Amino acid sequence: MERAACIVAVILMLIVVVLSCIQIIVLSDSFFYRQYERNDVFRKTQIEPAELMRITDEIQAYLMGQRQDFFINGTVGGRYRQIFTEREILHMQDVQNLFRSGFYVRNIALLLLLCCLLYLWCRRRKFFYEALMGSAVTFFGLGLILGVVIVLNFQGFFVLFHEIFFRNDLWLLDPRESILINMVPEPFFMAVAWQILLLAAAIFLICGLVGLGGLKFDRTLSRP
């Protein structure tokens, strides 16, 4: 029973950490601003930096369920207007639903993870530490594979992701007309992927070290 709980804890920890890292990155204004500068977004969208960051805050609020709709107004090229087209609005409704589902899964997984870890801690601490180590080893194995995919064929990965999680082609936007795709072009999503991997790697490194230290120094593990 403890071994099964250990395996389940590893899987749940991967889900919780990765989805939490996505949320952290999506809510990082500093990350968005750096990407806007690197991808020349201010010029391409004809939106001033302060105005674009305000619009970004509205997008973040929408994705977090803190805004009811995606009808966002702002100043583009000196003219006050509705920022996004109907196609962009419909696509972002799909994105919001995806985020909502992800947060629901993350929260349920977090509750189950805490139950598993508490069970392992109380029943047999060795498996508690092994769960921490196992999650780290598993993540770094999967993360290495994903890192190679990102380097070799990120565009293919990007398309596959959208084909799996979206049931329509609304995500196919024309950069000549779409402010949204100019705000978050493909290099932006590649940067997001790397940031998620790096942040999750830091968390799992700590988990692995705690697990290794626990197995090595917790004297209660040797008790019958």
Domain that holds residue 56: 2-222
Give the C-alpha separation, 102 to 172, whole Å. Answer: 22
Domain tally for the chain? 1
pLDDT computed for residue 224 by the predictor:
47
pLDDT computed for residue 80 by the predictor:
95
Residues 25-51 have pLDDT tens digits of 999 999 999 999 999 999 999 999 999
Residues 93 and 168 sit within 8 Å (Cβ to Cβ): no
pLDDT computed for residue 22 by the predictor:
96
10 burial type by CB count under 10 A (0-12 exposed, 13-18 middle, 19+ buried): buried
Who contacts 190 (Cβ-Cβ below 8 Å, separation ≥6)? 150, 154
Give the C-alpha separation, 116 to 7, whole Å. Answer: 10
pLDDT computed for residue 223 by the predictor:
53
Residues 120-162 have pLDDT tens digits of 998 888 899 999 999 999 999 999 999 999 999 999 999 999 9
State percent of the chain over pLDDT 90: 87
Phi/psi for 184 (5° steps) reads: -130, 75
133 burial type by CB count under 10 A (0-12 exposed, 13-18 middle, 19+ buried): buried
> How does DSSP assign 33-87, residue by residue?
HHHHHHTTHHHHHT--HHHHHHHHHHHHHHHTT-SS----EEEETTEEEE-S-HH
Give the C-alpha separation, 46 to 119, whole Å. Answer: 55
Residue with tokens 């929260």: 107
pLDDT computed for residue 222 by the predictor:
55
Give the C-alpha separation, 212 to 132, whole Å. Answer: 8
Residues 183-221 have pLDDT tens digits of 999 999 999 999 999 999 999 999 999 999 888 887 666
Per-residue CA distances from 60 to 32, 66, 169, 172 (Å)? 11, 8, 22, 21
Q: What is the CB neighbour count within 10 angstroms for residue 221?
A: 15
